[in-house]
Amino acid sequence: MFVSDILAYKGERVISVAPNDGLAAAIATLAARRIGAVLVLDAGGAIVGILSERDVLHAMARDGAAALNRKVSEVMTGSVVTCDPDASIEHVMQTMTDRRFRHLPVVRQGRLCGMISIGDVVRLRLEEQRREADALREYITAA
């Protein structure tokens, strides 16, 4: 199974904010969309960062309510790890575990084409395990 299998049911839409947006507006987007991270894109659509609820938590712990007045660019993670749609599910599970994050933007030949979360990966893995178990059960009962 591959990252492209996740995009096939999830689609390629990516929720994003701009680096100059205020943190309060970005938090409103996270809440309204019921997601844990947004990608930060510049005016040309290039990836300049990622803002997750973890970044919000750290900013609030450091600055309290004043954090709400900061810009997204001051709070986001600037160096973003991406994956290819042809990457295997095992590969992205390993990356998320090693790097300790739960989100990966998907980039095909320099073009952003989706965003996957650890929830998407677990869901696909469960489906795969269910299918394997069904196939084994069928094999055993047919024997």
Contact pick of 22, 77, 123, 125 for ligand AMP (by CB under 6 A) = 77
Q: What tokens appear for 32 in the block?
A: 């309204």
Q: How many residues bind ligand AMP (CB under 6 A)?
A: 14
Q: Is 36 in the site for ligand AMP (CB under 6 A)?
A: yes
Q: What is the 3-state secondary structure (H, E, C) of 15-50?
A: CEECCCCEHHHHHHHHHHHCCCEEEEECCCCCEEEE
Q: At what angle do helices 118-142 and 3-10 cross, to 10 degrees?
A: 100
Closest approach of ligand AMP to the CB of residue 102, in Å:
4
Q: Is 4 in the site for ligand AMP (CB under 6 A)?
A: no
Binding site for ligand AMP (CB under 6 A): 36-37, 50, 52-55, 77, 80-81, 101-104
